Amino acid sequence: MNKKLQTALTFDDVLLKPNLSSVLPKEVDLSINLSTKLKLNIPFLSAAMDTVTESKLAISLARRGGLGIIHKNFSIEQQAFEVDKVKRSESGMILDPITIEPEFKIRKALEIMANYKVSGLPVIKNKKLVGILTNRDIRFENNFDLEVKDRMTSSNLVTVPESTTLEQAKSVLQKHRIEKLLVTDKNGLLKGLITVKDILKKEDHPDAAVDIHGRLLVGAAVGIEKNTLDRVAALVEKQVDCIVVDTAHGHSKSVLKTVEQIKKVHSNIDLIVGNVATGQGTKALIDCGADIVKVGIGAGSSCTTRIVAGVGVPQLSAVIDCFEQANKLGKKIISDGGMRYSGDIAKSLAAGASSVMLGSIFAGLEETPGEVVLRDGRSYKSYRGMGSVAAMKEGSHDRYFQDLKSSKKLVPEGIEGLVPYKGKLNDTIDQLVGGIKSCFGYCGSKNISEIKDKAQFVQITSSGIIESHPHDINITKDSPNYRKPDFNVDL
């Protein structure tokens, strides 16, 4: 037994030394290829937590260049539907548009439009295009039991071939004063849909993280339950871009077995697997088929694993250890947990992470699930760890290798609480990106690859932490990128 104690550090224990630099923050490129299919323009993933990521946040984050991971506390069908909503939210050309048949009731068509937030649906019969039903066709309709064929536009349909470019499509849309352009082959079979709304979205979000078809990227979490392969199959059917095998202890035989099973059936899907905190755990996951490894045990703000179980590794040391092993094997890692400020994210990237997964930083945003509540005159939103009793009851118990026979026997490794309401995602992203780019400028690094090579850490004392935070002043106005820490340090 090796009882030799090792020193391990986290973000507050270190600072990055400034270097000679000719790099301005505005010149920094934060894009990263996590894999051949996952290209992000900002290195942020949202945590697969039921108070953080559903389709609304995933769409907003992907539009800024990041990647949302839909949580697994859904039924298989609900989670797949959330993924589908992201994939259909915008596209250069929608390859598999939602369609209806002429015999559908108007009522059914309206339900589909509402579910997918679309204003028109192509109408097909025997796979051939026969019309289109838009809001204009049924704007003042009162008889919802009419069939679609009674109100759809079926004559003088404007169609274009599959080879049509977006610029050509814009010209056709303008010429005919229409908002939806149907794409067909020579046999009249519907092959896609181009909309004015999608073209405008692409122009409004030039840095969006998209797949080869121009659809927003999205991932989804799975566990190690008996129905995991069924869940993965349903998600893959909806064109999910990556699967996150999400557990509290990734260096576990049951997790390794699950990874092998998924890869055997779905060899082309990118697998992000975690969580681990050691080089050995990283190697084991990669050897079993993980494409990207997620690092972090017990670092999250709502996690109590280190206190309840006494297990974990301070996050910065964990990232360094896991990066060394992943780098040897040509793979990338994601730092998950413990980051409260943009400077912590920058330190994660400098230590070896290619991207970071954020939970508490995104919690409280307008786009997260849940209602805004008022307490003592301030606005808050609910936030809970996936190891909390409530979250485990909803479906995350397998993440912590626990059986849900009795809720009284669940041993929580997370807490529930409130976080301040933070407004829209865009403002938070702007502050985080600005802080990271500032760090790279100080360190003379123009991209994520360079910061790993040029970064020089210095370890600081508790006095250094006090000196680093604002001191000898009463803060009278909140800053958009800084909140006074709540740990017991006399700042």
The answer to whether 303 is a known catalytic residue is yes
- Domains of the chain: residue spans and CATH: 11-88+208-367+426-468 (3.20.20.70), 106-199 (3.10.580.10)
Strand-pair partners of 124: 129
Marked catalytic residue, from 63, 151, 242, 303: 303
More confident residue, 414 or 491: 414
Say which amino acid occupies 194. I
Q: What is the mean pLDDT of residues 138-147?
A: 91
Q: What is the mean pLDDT of residues 143-163?
A: 91
Strands 355-358 and 44-46: parallel
Q: What is the pTM of this model?
A: 0.88
pLDDT score of 406 more than 60: no
pLDDT score of 103 more than 90: yes
More confident residue, 142 or 86: 86
> Mean pLDDT lowest for which of 135-139, 306-310, 342-346, 385-389?
385-389
Alpha-carbon distance of 205 to 252, in angstroms, equals: 40
* Ramachandran class of 459: left when φ > 0, alpha when ψ lies in -120 to 50, beta otherwise: beta
> Mean pLDDT lowest for which of 163-172, 183-192, 238-247, 390-399?
390-399
CA torsion 74→78→83→84, rounded to 10°?
Answer: 180
Percent of the chain at pLDDT > 90 equals 71
Please give the mean pLDDT across all residues of the chain. 92
pLDDT at residue 197, as a whole number: 86
pLDDT score of 407 more than 60: no
The answer to whether 64 is a known catalytic residue is no
Q: What is the mean pLDDT of residues 128-133?
A: 93
Marked catalytic residue, from 64, 88, 399, 443: 399
pLDDT at residue 393, as a whole number: 74
